[in-house]
Chain A
Amino acid sequence: MFASSAGMLNRHQKQVHALDGIDLDIYEQETLGIVGESGCGKTTLGRTIIGLIAPTSGQILFDGQDLVNASKDAKKSFNREIQMVFQNPYTSFDPRFTIIKCVSEPLKIHTNLRGAALTKRARELLEQVGMPGEILHRYAHEFSGGQLQRIAIARALALNPKIIVLDEPTSALDVSVQAQIINLLQDLQRQFKLTYLFISHDLSVVQHISNRVTVMYLGKIVEQNTSEAIFEGQAHHPYTQALLSAMPSVVKELRRKQIILEGSVPDAANPPKGCNFHPRCPVAMPICSIAEPVLDNSGAGHPVACFVVNPIEKSTDEMIQ
């Protein structure tokens, strides 16, 4: 959650719940996929984890330590452990920086490497992502999107992080290049025992790379399950089902009966009452516009936030309280 404000003279300050009560665990060396459409809060989630946005309330625990309320020094050490790769490789690099300056920027902040040792490390990092070390003195505009994304990954690896937040790392790339980057990410994960938080709108990419998948809608988690289960018919939330059916695929077996949702994602500043999804939900019930469903294992054996899936009695009890 965070507040949107418009400066000193603004008359009304409005709370926008970009993220609303998110509970999430990420385990070591796994890839957790976060899927959702624009406005679902997936990017805000990534930025909050990496510390670019301070949450209004809540905790982020890393190895049991709280990131949000940590001291300045502790925050600096967390900076080393969690890195991010951004969506658009073309704006991920300062156009006035050479590649070596870009890649070594984190090293200069966090390590004592200088001079030849710094160059050596930068070269090594580039080679790890399949870029020749000779490019060190060139500028970002001389490279293609796929090459830049490799360099961005090299920069993220510079401090030997534990977690890398990947925010739509392939959405600006062509299919053949996307495949190269996904393969690279998987190789690096094995090699360096990395943990990924993979944020994407593209279900086919997420199902391919993730161990577990979290589906988000308008700032909330609606369903969470292992990747295989979700993509092999164990999708229970009507939104997950609609997302899956809307995903175009060349694989005939993957083509499901299309569920075409009406309307579009509502404004997060003005969410609907009750379940956020009910105005678009094909199976909405009267209760959905009154009460908010919570994530619950009881109906499907994995967390789903839906009255249709979970037994209503329990949820209505909560509503009455």
Chain B
Amino acid sequence: MNAPLLAIEDLHVHFNTYAGTVRAVNGVSFEIRSGEMFGLVGESGCGKTVTGLAIMRAIPSPGRIMKGRIFFQGEDLITKSESEMRDIRGGRIAMIFQDPTASLNPVFTAGYQISLQITQHRHVSKKEAKQLAFDMFSEVGLPHAKSIYNTYPHELSGGMQQRVMIAMALASGAELLIADEPTTALDVTIQAQILALLSQLRESEGLTILLITHDLGVVAETCDRVAVTYDGHIVESGTVDDVLYQTKHPYTQGLLAALPDTVRHKQSLEVIKGSVPDGLHSVSGCSFHPRCPKVMDICLDQPPSLIIVGEKEHSASCYLYMEETA
């Protein structure tokens, strides 16, 4: 088994708002192995995007990393200086977002932006940078690299913009790509193109990908391993086969049952009652207990910890499985 490329240990990120402290990430731990596609899945407000930003050390104000360690190739990113982080950010670790238009500067050509990225992170001449940019454009399936080089972002479709973003990540030599909902804003057929591209890059370039998404279907079709987040922490993690088809945690079970394609036509869907907590008001015990159909007395007192519940490090944080191991 590969050594972890990225290991997150007990990460806490808090936002001090005037409504109180929002615990956006509240004790997240997981490992990503070199060369794998790792899915971080959850509903909005569960802390998945903040976790991605924390790896980049790019938490927007008023957020702050309160606790935890983030090891990237054995080095703790939390202790790095800001100037060291600048080299890593966009260099060894790159991130792409849901809305590529917001990530690309509208007044510069795609080519200018990728060249800038390359010369910032690699010691190459301008000419070499341009050649490298052409190579990257064709690598990500953008036809006519030369003309793409000279186009402005608004002349490209959403799917092509996302390809440019991926090309920029590759060009600066990223080993880890954090893809935050990269296909959510795209049409289904374009989503399929981008997901196929990511899978292909993983094969050909050995790229490690952290895929942050709300879509369990996307995870099922592309990822090797997955972690399910709820209210700022991980409730279940393991291989995709284990988590989605040998599901242990009631929340994951509920999410799967709520998908319209898992239920017969026109029948009513399983529903998780209530809504996601807002992170402001800490729920005592297991934070899922107010919505859990299998809630027990113990769930109200103490938050459960993540324990191994199956093969291949399949783990869940639920008291249903505590007795078995204890």
Contact = CB atoms under 8 A, between A and B. Distances in A.
Interface of A: 37-38, 144, 146-147, 174-180, 182-183, 186-187, 201, 203-205, 207-209, 227-228, 231, 242-243, 245-252, 254-255, 258, 260-262, 264-265
B259 interface: yes
A174 B189 contact: no
A264 B157 contact: yes
A192 B261 CA distance: 26
B55 to A, nearest CB: 23
Interface string B201-243: 0000000000000111111111000000000000000000000
B188 A179 contact: no
Nearest to B41: A175
Contacts of B190: 37, 264
Interface of B: 43-44, 157-160, 187-193, 195-196, 214-222, 244-245, 254-256, 258-263, 265-266, 268-272, 275-276
B159 A264 contact: yes
B265 A37 contact: no
A180 B269 CA distance: 8
A213 to B, nearest CB: 11
B159 A248 contact: no
Contact of B220 (A209, A250, A261): A250
28 contacts: A37-B187, A174-B214, A175-B214, A175-B259, A176-B255, A176-B276, A178-B258, A178-B260, A179-B272, A201-B188, A203-B188, A204-B261, A207-B260, A207-B265, A208-B261, A209-B260, A228-B265, A231-B265, A243-B189, A246-B191, A247-B261, A248-B192, A249-B261, A250-B259, A258-B192, A260-B193, A262-B193, A265-B187
Given A176-B254, A249-B217, A201 B268 contact: no
Contacts of A177: 275
A205 B266 CA distance: 10
Q: Main SS of chain A's interface residues?
A: helix
Contacts of B244: 250
Most buried by B among A146, A179, A203, A227: A179
Contacts of B270: 179
A231 B261 CA distance: 10
A180 B218 contact: no
B85 to A, nearest CB: 32
A246 B188 CA distance: 6
Nearest to A145: B44
Most buried by B among A38, A260, A264, A265: A264
A277 to B, nearest CB: 11
A38 B185 CA distance: 10
Contact of B43 (A38, A147, A176, A255): A176
A182 to B, nearest CB: 6
A98 B266 CA distance: 34
A300 to B, nearest CB: 21
B271 A180 contact: yes
